[in-house]
Amino acid sequence: MLSTRLGRTGLKVSRIALGCMSYGTAAAGMHQWTLDEDAAAPLFRQAVELGVTFWDTANVYQGGTSEEFVGRAITRFARRSEIVLATKVSGPTADGPAGLSRKAILAQVDASLRRLGTDHIDVYYVHRFDPGTPVEETMQTLDGLVRAGKVLYLGASSMWAWQFAKLQHAAALNGWTTFSAMQDQYNVLKREEERDMIPMCLDQGVGLTPYSPLAKGRAARPWGERTARSSSDQVAVAFDRDVDRPVVAAVERVAAARGVPMAQVALAWVLSKPVVACPIVGATKPHHLADAVAALDLELTAEELTALEEHYQPQDNYWW
């Protein structure tokens, strides 16, 4: 497994991250397709064996049960020091209010630490921007968590570039900890972040840890094929745009010519971008992680990159 630095920090992360939204008690959250703890255990073990040691979850995933599964899996399959553990704050849970107020953050971080069974979080993301809280309050509170040792590095996820800039500026102006990671949606079908967010991250040395690198699986299988998740997940259904059909066809052609699965080509495209530290892969079957790791050895040619990109159609950032 290759590793890289997260942005300009000294933190080393595996080039593939394990997305843990796929794991949790189905009845406890909004997704009915998640794996229970027994079904998820082999995938946690496989991740350790493959060197996929950056694990990403959130306080809101399946009512907090995802964090519980992750915490127990670390104890069972690894040493805490081997895992770069990430979780998120801003969504509502039973442990405290939603948002990024001081009250919300302090309540939610302690609840996450308790569920994860650890005394610190390696990368703590603000899950969404909170327009109802002054950015100074949010960033000062997050800085306090770093100074207290509860959090080591900060990240943000899915917001407009001007909102991210506003948060970063408040921190820099006051000598508080700034964000080192941006977790946004980026894949061969969703490239709107190339307009503003990605150039900003490149300029400020913020590492990209994109989610949905396979476009909810749309870029990993021929057009029209469906899975249980792609047929029921309302977010995934938003990917059914006819204008994307030529892009998926291009992925299929490149994969066929290379003799590799489409998922490897789609991931190789994401990995080819210099701002990307590690794409987050939500594995529910053994071959998902195997394909992701294999994508690290797939270097796309300039001609292949052009073929994958030339049919893209601009769109609104409606997915968040």
Query: Which has the minimum average pLDDT: 15-19, 160-164, 223-227, 305-309?
Result: 223-227
Domain presence at residue 302: no
pLDDT at residue 228 is higher than 70: no
Cα–Cα distance for residue pair 209/192, rounded to 1 Å:
15
pLDDT confidence bin for 146, thresholds 50/70/90: very high
Domain presence at residue 262: no
pLDDT confidence bin for 173, thresholds 50/70/90: very high
Domain presence at residue 254: no
Domain presence at residue 315: no
What percentage of residues in the chain have a pLDDT greater than 70? 94
pLDDT at 95: 81
Cβ within 8 Å of residue 156, ≥6 positions away: 125, 126, 129, 164, 167, 179, 181, 182, 183
Domain presence at residue 232: no
Question: Token match 């749309």: residue?
Answer: 218
Q: If you write DSSP's letter for every residue of 25-49 in order, what string do you get? A: -GGGSS-SS-B-HHHHHHHHHHHHH
Collapsing DSSP states into helix, strand and coil, what is residue 187?
A: strand
Pairing of strands 17-19, 121-126: unpaired
Domain presence at residue 140: yes
Range of the domain at 182: 3-214+274-285
pLDDT confidence bin for 315, thresholds 50/70/90: confident
pLDDT at residue 227 is higher than 80: no
pLDDT at residue 244 is higher than 60: yes
pLDDT at 233: 63
- 61 assigned to active site: yes
> With contact defined as beta carbons under 8 Å apart, do 291 and 270 qualify?
no
Give the global pTM. 0.94
Task: State the total domains in the chain.
Answer: 1
Mean pLDDT of 17-32: 87
pLDDT at 240: 75
pLDDT at 229: 59
pLDDT at 29: 75
Mean pLDDT of 110-118: 97
Mean pLDDT, the chain, rounded, equals 93
State the DSSP H helix or E strand holding residue 12, giving kind and residue range, or none if neither: strand 12-14
Cα–Cα distance for residue pair 198/230, rounded to 1 Å:
27
pLDDT at 33: 83
Domain presence at residue 166: yes
Q: CB atoms < 10 A from the CB of 49, how many?
A: 11
Segment 41-63, tens digit of pLDDT: 999 999 999 999 999 999 999 88
Domain at 69, CATH number: 3.20.20.100
Residue of 61, 124, 211, 312 marked catalytic = 61
Segment 245-255, tens digit of pLDDT: 999 999 999 99
Domain presence at residue 298: no
